Chain A
Amino acid sequence: AQSVTQPDIHITVSEGASLELRCNYSYGATPYLFWYVQSPGQGLQLLLKYFSGDTLVQGIKGFEAEFKRSQSSFNLRKPSVHWSDAAEYFCAVGSNFNKFYFGSGTKLNVKP
């Protein structure tokens, strides 16, 4: 069965510092991987996705993620965090586009 693990519940970084949010997945076949962001009181918005090909994918708002099959990971990164990046981030895995499974989320706080 598919599953997604986000080991960090909360992360605090200083504005301008780099960021890496971890995601590990369990899936038998080639996964479809996603990162979503949720601002307070809002629904989720897609940041980026990986289906195949280049293992480093670029997304919106300056985010990128790298798929590492050997480690079953799909970590999200950003070189320099802005205060507006404070939100909750969810990693998700999809199978045949009909089912998506989400991790438990990582809340990002940004210190001025």
Chain B
Amino acid sequence: NAGVTQTPKFQVLKTGQSMTLQCAQDMNHNSMYWYRQDPGMGLRLIYYSASEGTTDKGEVPNGYNVSRLNKREFSLRLESAAPSQTSVYFCASSGQPLNTGELFFGEGSRLTVL
């Protein structure tokens, strides 16, 4: 099973450029999440989507936008990248009907903004 798939895995941007991180899950999960991971700060929630058609801000939403395209896909967009957005980004999903609360993670996308 593919689980949660993120693309791209690596990206280098210049300040001011835009890009979109793609995420897709094949587990029929309702909830999807975007986190960023920075050294010494753990994972911080950027945005989440509790169900198709809804999105909500997390702890650090500034500079990002998201789209829940359908139940499978949840994209994260940086409209004008800044060096402070250099990070590793993780997409995750959490499911129904078991609703165990377990998060299933992608392998991460490493973004460098110069």
Contact = CB atoms under 8 A, between A and B. Distances in A.
Interface residues of B, number: 27
Nearest to A1: B59
B105 interface: yes
A97 B42 contact: no
Contact of A102 (B40, B42, B107, B108): B42
Contacts of B101: 32, 34, 49, 51, 94, 97, 100
B103 interface: yes
Interface string B1-45: 000100000000000000000000000000101010000111111
B105 A44 contact: yes
Contacts of A32: 101
Interface in A29-66: 32, 34, 36, 41-46, 49, 51
Q: Summarize A's interface: helix, strand, loop or mixed.
A: strand
Chain A: number of interface residues, binned into ranges: 20 to 34
B50 A43 contact: no
Interface of B: 4, 31, 33, 35, 40-45, 48, 50, 56, 58-59, 90, 92, 94, 99-103, 105-108
11 contacts: A6-B42, A32-B101, A36-B103, A41-B107, A43-B107, A44-B90, A46-B102, A94-B101, A100-B101, A101-B45, A104-B40
A34 B106 CA distance: 18
A99 B90 contact: no
Interface of A: 4, 6, 9, 32, 34, 36, 41-46, 49, 51, 90, 92, 94, 97-105
A41 B108 CA distance: 8
A49 B102 contact: yes
Contacts of B94: 97, 100
